[in-house]
Amino acid sequence: MKFGTDGIRGVANTQLTPELAMAVGRAAARVLGGPTIAVGRDPRRSGPMLEAAFVAGACSEGASVELLGVVPTPAVAFRSQEASIAAAMISASHNPFADNGIKLFAPGGLKLSDEVQAAVEAELELIGAGRSADAVSGADVGEVRTHDVAPAYVAHVEDSVAEGALSGLKVVLDCGNGAASALAGPLFIALGATVDVINSSPDGQNINSGGGSTDTAGLQRRVVETGADIGFAFDGDADRMMAVDHTGRLIDGDQLLALAANDLRSRGRLPGDTVVVTVMTNLGFRLGMQRLGINVVDTAVGDRFVLEALDAGGFALGGEQSGHLIFRDRATTGDGLLSAAVTAEIVVRAGAPLAGLVDSLMTRLPQVLRNVRIAAPMPDVAARLAGELDAAAESLGDDGRVLVRPSGTEPVVRVMVEATDEAVAHEWCDRLVSAVEAL
């Protein structure tokens, strides 16, 4: 199994087996180095099993392990940055509970570069072929200890906004029965908000089920029913967030990014007047930023690519439509709790509803996205559909956009079409889906 855009991911115990998790632990210890690796997980049932296997692999190579327990991915990255140690997160993010995954962080909280990732994969191949390094024994075997990172991580998020910044704000939080379940409510109460928390009782199987950032219907109803000012939904490992305005309308990552970019620029905190996004970002965002005089830099899909572009350009803000927002002066990865706190503070500071603030900055163009399940990887799918893609681009002109790409986390090809006319977008999406299915 190879690394995708966000680590290794698959069905736990059949695709992502304990044997593979142990091998990844061994490879991580060899390649990432350092005396200690921090390990966190989300609350899905297979987490302890895969955690144990990963830890055994790392310790067998002489690396000690800090067990962080059930915490958000950004808390793991925070510990990696704070202590300058490598780290791993056992999570499948927004996927169903039967899936699981392993995300690796280099010392300093950074996701792996292509070169380091390739080195880890090379070690995995050697381990799979039975080639082992000299075994350690005695005091050279890694030890396992626990570390409670939650208090320091929550304090870090609190410090990212003004004290009492959310006083008077009525907030609904949907934790998706994931890693944020124990932390989100207390955090927002400490910031001064009146808080209603839903989907915060994980049982190992209900993660991302009927709630969270990929299923916001319940949150949208709850916000309207309770008369809340705003709602936030987190995915299973809480590195992404979606918002809901007071009318129950979903506000996605593109819109949240526009809000943050405008706020930072207005306060002189947006270096280069630039924001970094991925190729999936809505054309309406790009047009809105153009009107505001804010530059847009594109990357491939994946928050690690966004982070690389942020660091390369010395920029402060980037993100994805899916709700990964990176505030580079505060974090090394997408952070749903941090993004929610910052968004809520912007709303309070502006003294206006989220709906009006977002609508003044951008208008989302109709965007149709379809996932086509495939039996085998199709890394060259765009090249194989070059004729169809050229025809679509010519037809849509400057008022539309088309993108066909293989997913880095699921066995699907994603087909996306944007157009000013939704019917036209659907028509071209259907044609391209059919073309993919015919390959």
Distance set, CA 283 to CA 166, 272, 366 (Å): 32, 21, 9
Contact, 436 vs 372, CB < 8 A? yes
- What size, in residues, is the chain? 439
Q: Cα(first)–Cα(last) distance of the chain, in Å? A: 24
Report the alpha-carbon distance of residue 302 to residue 304 in Å, rounded.
Answer: 5
Q: Is 84 a catalytic residue?
A: no
User: Catalytic one among 46, 91, 93, 407?
Assistant: 93
Q: Whole-angstrom Cα distance, residue 245 to residue 185?
A: 18
d(CA 173, CA 193): 11
Spatial CA neighbour of 88 closest among 152, 136, 23: 23
Return the beta strands (E) in 252-387 as ranges.
274-278, 295-299, 317-319, 325-327, 367-373
Alpha helices in 84-216, H assignment, sequence order: 114-128, 150-158, 184-190
Dmax (CA) for the chain in angstroms is 69
List, by residue number, the catalytic residues: 93
